[in-house]
Chains A and B, each alone.
Chain A
């Protein structure tokens, strides 16, 4: 029972583990750059989840070959679903933009406070708000 749960759905276990690693880094790390790395892992886990739901067993790339036009019966060849890939392409672009904005903010934080450690910034804030 337990083995089936793990073996049959191992892709999901991978993505959940990866997601929690990223989540942990975002919440627990004090270094602002490490938080951004966590954020990237967190997002990547979701991308993997999307890609994994596109696959079905024995399926091939969704490309219609010229010689198979007309001769192809519906149902004999299974294709992977291309739509999740397209969605994730968009989500990757979004992820890159988020990372860019976050890094730009960290640069400005570093210029202002001279540190990228969360606790030290909080202390500096308390001293001179």
Chain B
């Protein structure tokens, strides 16, 4: 049984997605239960895979028994086990959260479709993580993207359809660029297996075809994870989608695309190529600081809470790319912890925004007056995630920024230290604003929200938020847990196969 886990992780959500359509015909309520169960099973399988990979090293699964490099290979190693666990955990939390949220914010008539498409999205994401075949990566990328476009449009907000359309156009350009990159690599090597490519490419590193392919990969995945100048689609897509969808887009979809780029950078190409042959680090050294500062400054200017969170994502992506560019183990560890970090925090924060919108329909930050007393659990979780985003010690946000700062010093680029400090202060500014309105202002008089008593969201929405906030604290205090997995993955990436 356990030798088939790498494929089961992908198949469970896939078949459950089809099952939801069938079950939805007879019993609409079954949809949520199946989705939660499927994501939970995927999470359980991921934990088991991570444990197996940690104990025994790289797990290779041959699809249909065909030997790689001819057949498709699924690979679970330190890195993919780590990312797999994070993504499936967040997917499970959001599935649990969705029960009440979707009924109200998406509508009963679309409930079945929502969960089926949600599971297809998870299928695509988990598939992208475990696959060891670069064309298979493209196929899963498109499965995840298509499900993502549909989910953005599923909500009741009018602008969401246009946001989804723009996301589709830019997302497809990104995916086609990835496809072109794969074509170029296949043209010169005749193989699609990542490990095999790694062995064949070094002799061709100065071939223009291989260089072009790499450029296509960076731009293609960069479009998908909103690398700074390519981020425009993210703002409207993440802010207008239903909050549960924004949460999975920010926490999982962005992260998996970053993961895909890391895979291509370190598994298909080698550290030697990305740091010595192409000037990728130099480009990231310019893009990342601009992304970090621009994201944070624009977030301060926002009055809509979801738009603020969307801008903040751009800055956080900047941190991850900065860590990738620094080319040492400490910084790469920081980047990988930041992937966990941002998945927890931004996933959590969008869910919290969802809770607030579910109960009050308030998007405007200045109307959150006195919310700290009316929704104490929600706002407490918001405060913890916010502090973590700022990087206050004892939260997980501190750990990744600490590693990034150490990595910056190790690389001898001390001038990035003020950048990290300034951007943390800017982050503090925009989160503090929310906390101030929520806790230090008297509640708005009741006529502002007629006929409505504001109370906590349903318990099933609060539990995932509570768990996520708790993990922000646990990983912040017991920092050795994420640190060990991330360090091992970083060591593995820089060290070789």
Chain A bound to chain B: yes
Q: Interface of A with B (CB < 8 Å)?
A: 23, 26, 32, 35, 39, 42-43, 46, 49-50, 53, 81, 83-84, 87, 90-91, 94, 97-98, 101-102, 105-106, 108-109, 112, 121, 125, 129
Chain B contacts of A23 at CB under 8 A? 173
Shortest Cβ distance from residue A27 to the other chain B in the assembled complex, whole angstroms:
9
Q: Which one of B164, B165, B173, B183 lies within 8 Å of A49 (CB-CB)?
A: B183
B183 lies within 8 A of A46 (CB)? yes
Contacts A/B (CB < 8 Å), 6 sampled: A43-B172, A90-B135, A98-B168, A102-B165, A105-B149, A105-B153
Shortest Cβ distance from residue A14 to the other chain B in the assembled complex, whole angstroms:
15
Q: How far is the CA of A81 from the CA of B173 in the complex (A)?
A: 27
B161 lies within 8 A of A87 (CB)? no
* B409 in contact (CB, < 8 A): no
Chain A contacts of B168 at CB under 8 A? 98, 101-102, 105
Given the interface pairs A39-B172, A91-B179, the reply to whether A98 lies near B142 with Cβ below 8 Å is: yes
Shortest Cβ distance from residue A42 to the other chain B in the assembled complex, whole angstroms:
6
Q: How far is the CA of A97 from the CA of B171 in the complex (A)?
A: 14
Q: How far is the CA of A66 from the CA of B153 in the complex (A)?
A: 54
Q: How far is the CA of A110 from the CA of B490 in the complex (A)?
A: 49
Over the window 321-344 of chain B, the binary record of Cβ atoms lying under 8 Å from chain A Cβ atoms (1 yes, 0 no) is 000000000000000000000000
Q: Which one of B139, B159, B165, B179 lies within 8 Å of A129 (CB-CB)?
A: B159
* B169 in contact (CB, < 8 A): yes
Chain A contacts of B139 at CB under 8 A? 90, 94
Q: How far is the CA of A39 from the CA of B309 in the complex (A)?
A: 30
Kindly name the residue among A42, A87, A105, A112 whose own CB sees the greatest number of chain B CB atoms within 10 A: A105
Shortest Cβ distance from residue B237 to the other chain A in the assembled complex, whole angstroms:
12
Chain B contacts of A109 at CB under 8 A? 161-162, 165
Q: How far is the CA of A50 from the CA of B190 in the complex (A)?
A: 12
B165 lies within 8 A of A53 (CB)? no
Chain A contacts of B183 at CB under 8 A? 46, 49-50, 53, 84
Q: Which one of B164, B173, B186 lies within 8 Å of A42 (CB-CB)?
A: B173
Given the interface pairs A39-B172, A42-B173, A98-B172, the reply to whether A105 lies near B142 with Cβ below 8 Å is: no
Given the interface pairs A32-B165, A43-B176, A49-B180, the reply to whether A101 lies near B186 with Cβ below 8 Å is: no
Q: Which one of A84, A97, A105 lies within 8 Å of B186 (CB-CB)?
A: A84
A46 lies within 8 A of B176 (CB)? yes
Chain A contacts of B149 at CB under 8 A? 101, 105
B180 lies within 8 A of A121 (CB)? no
* B12 in contact (CB, < 8 A): no
Shortest Cβ distance from residue A90 to the other chain B in the assembled complex, whole angstroms:
6
Chain B contacts of A112 at CB under 8 A? 158, 161
* B204 in contact (CB, < 8 A): no
Shortest Cβ distance from residue B488 to the other chain A in the assembled complex, whole angstroms:
34
Q: How far is the CA of A105 from the CA of B166 in the complex (A)?
A: 10
Q: How far is the CA of A90 from the CA of B139 in the complex (A)?
A: 8
Chain A contacts of B180 at CB under 8 A? 46, 49
Chain B contacts of A129 at CB under 8 A? 159
A53 lies within 8 A of B186 (CB)? yes
Q: How far is the CA of A124 from the CA of B172 in the complex (A)?
A: 26
Across the A-B interface, give the 7 residue pairs with the lowest CB-CB distance, nearest first.
A94-B142, A105-B165, A53-B187, A108-B161, A109-B161, A50-B183, A102-B168
The residue on B at minimum CB distance from A128 is B158
Kindly name the residue among A35, A83, A98, A102 whose own CB sees the greatest number of chain B CB atoms within 10 A: A98
Q: How far is the CA of A26 from the CA of B171 in the complex (A)?
A: 12
Which residues, 136 to 187 on B, are CB-close (under 8 Å) to A?
138-139, 142, 146, 149-150, 153, 158-159, 161-162, 164-165, 168-169, 172-173, 176, 179-180, 183, 186-187
Q: How far is the CA of A83 from the CA of B419 in the complex (A)?
A: 48
Q: Which one of B150, B162, B173 lies within 8 Å of A125 (CB-CB)?
A: B162
Q: How far is the CA of A91 from the CA of B186 in the complex (A)?
A: 15
A106 lies within 8 A of B162 (CB)? no
Q: How far is the CA of A101 from the CA of B151 in the complex (A)?
A: 11
Q: How far is the CA of A42 from the CA of B172 in the complex (A)?
A: 10
Q: How far is the CA of A50 from the CA of B180 in the complex (A)?
A: 8
Chain A contacts of B135 at CB under 8 A? 87, 90
Which residues, 108 to 147 on B, are CB-close (under 8 Å) to A?
135, 138-139, 142, 146
The residue on A at minimum CB distance from B157 is A129
Q: How far is the CA of A121 from the CA of B161 in the complex (A)?
A: 11
Chain B contacts of A125 at CB under 8 A? 158-159, 162
Shortest Cβ distance from residue A53 to the other chain B in the assembled complex, whole angstroms:
5
Given the interface pairs A53-B187, A105-B165, A106-B165, the reply to whether A42 lies near B153 with Cβ below 8 Å is: no
Q: How far is the CA of A102 from the CA of B135 in the complex (A)?
A: 23
Chain A contacts of B164 at CB under 8 A? 105
Shortest Cβ distance from residue B338 to the other chain A in the assembled complex, whole angstroms:
31
The residue on A at minimum CB distance from B135 is A87
Q: How far is the CA of A121 from the CA of B160 in the complex (A)?
A: 12
Shortest Cβ distance from residue A8 to the other chain B in the assembled complex, whole angstroms:
15
Shortest Cβ distance from residue B157 to the other chain A in the assembled complex, whole angstroms:
10
Q: How far is the CA of A87 from the CA of B142 in the complex (A)?
A: 14
A98 lies within 8 A of B146 (CB)? yes
Shortest Cβ distance from residue B305 to the other chain A in the assembled complex, whole angstroms:
16
Shortest Cβ distance from residue A118 to the other chain B in the assembled complex, whole angstroms:
9
Q: How far is the CA of A94 from the CA of B143 in the complex (A)?
A: 8
The residue on B at minimum CB distance from A108 is B161
Q: How far is the CA of A101 from the CA of B135 in the complex (A)?
A: 22
Q: How far is the CA of A108 from the CA of B142 in the complex (A)?
A: 22
